[in-house]
Structure 1
Amino acid sequence: MRFQPAPGCCLIDSHCHLDAPEFDGQRDAIVAAAQAAGIGQLLLPSIHSDSFADSLAMRQRYGCWIAFGLHPIYLQRHMDEHLQLLEQHLQQHAPVAVGEIGLDYYVPGLDATRQEQLLVEQLKLARKYNLPVLLHVRRAQDRILKYLRQIPVPGGIAHAFNGSRQQADAFIQLGFKLGFGGAMSYSGSRRIRELAATLPLEALVLETDAPDIRPQWATQQPNTPANLQKFAMIMAELRNMDLNTLTAALWSNTYQAVGLALPSGQGDNKG
Structure 2
Amino acid sequence: MLVDSHCHLDYLQKDGDLEEVVARARRAGVTRMVTICTKLSEFEQVKAIAARYDDVACSVGVHPHEAGAEGVATPEPLIERAQDPLVVGIGETGLDYFYEHSPRAAQALSFRAHIQAARSTGLPLIVHARDADDDTVALLREEHAENGPFPGVIHCFTAGPGLARAALELGLYISLAGIVTFKKAEELRRTVAEVPLDRLLVETDSPYLAPTPNRGKRNEPAFVVHTAAKLAEIKGVSADELAAVTSENFFRLFDKVERPAAA
The TM-score with structure 2 as length reference comes to 0.89
8 A contact 2:73–2:110 mirrored in 1: no
Q: 1:237 aligns with which of 233, 239, 247?
A: 233
For 2:104, the aligned partner's letter is A
Q: Report the alpha carbon displacement of residue 23 of structure 1 after superposing the two structures with TM.
A: 4.4
Matching residue of 1:215? 211
> Could you tell me how far 1:109 is from its partner in structure 2?
4.5
Residue in 2 aligned with 1:70?
Answer: 62
1:116 aligns with 2:75: no
Q: Residues 225, 87 of structure 1: CA spacing in aligned structure 2 closer, same or farther, 3 A cutoff?
A: same
Map 1:31-50 onto structure 2 (within 5 A): 31-50=22-41
Query: How well do the aligned residues superpose, as a CA RMSD in angstroms?
Result: 2.3
- The residue that corresponds to 1:106 in the other structure is 98
Shift of 1:154: 2.7
Match of 2:91, SS state, is strand
**Residue 16 of structure 2 aligns with which residue?**
25
Are the aligned partners of 2:39 and 2:63 in contact in 1 as well (CA < 8 Å)? yes
Please give the alpha-carbon distance, in whole angstroms, between the structure 2 residues aligned to 1:110 and 1:142: 18
1:174 aligns with 2:170: yes
In structure 2, runs of 5+ residues without a counterpart are none
Question: Which residue matches 1:144?
Answer: 136
Distance in structure 1 (CA, Å) of the matches to 2:166 and 2:188: 16
Percent of residue pairs bearing the same amino acid type = 27
Q: Partner of 1:14: helix, strand, or coil?
A: strand
How far, CA to CA, are the matches of 1:191 and 1:68 in structure 2? 32
Cross-structure match for 2:45: 54
Letter in 2 for 1:14: S
1:15 is paired with a residue whose SS is strand
1:162 touches 1:192 (CA, 8 Å); kept in 2? yes
Counterparts of 1:22 and 1:95, CA distance in 2: 19
Unaligned segments of structure 1, at least 5 residues: 1-9, 267-271
Deviation (angstroms), 1:244: 1.1
CA distance in 2, matches of 1:205, 1:148: 20
Aligned twin of 1:269: none
Q: CA deviation at 1:195?
A: 2.5
* Cα 1:88/1:260, change in 2 over 3 Å: closer
Partner of residue 195, structure 2: 199
In the superposition, the TM-score normalised over structure 1's length comes to: 0.87
Q: 1:41 to 1:116 in 2, by over 3 A?
A: same
Is 1:253 paired with 2:249?
A: yes
Cα distance change on mapping 1:37 and 1:84 into 2, 3 Å: same
Residues 1:157 and 2:153 aligned together: yes
> Which residue of structure 2 aligns with residue 7 of structure 1?
none
Give the CA deviation at 1:60: 0.9
Alpha-carbon distance in structure 2 between the residues aligned to 1:236 and 1:134: 23
Query: What is the number of residues matched between the two proteins?
Result: 257
**Cα deviation, residue 81, structure 1:** 8.2
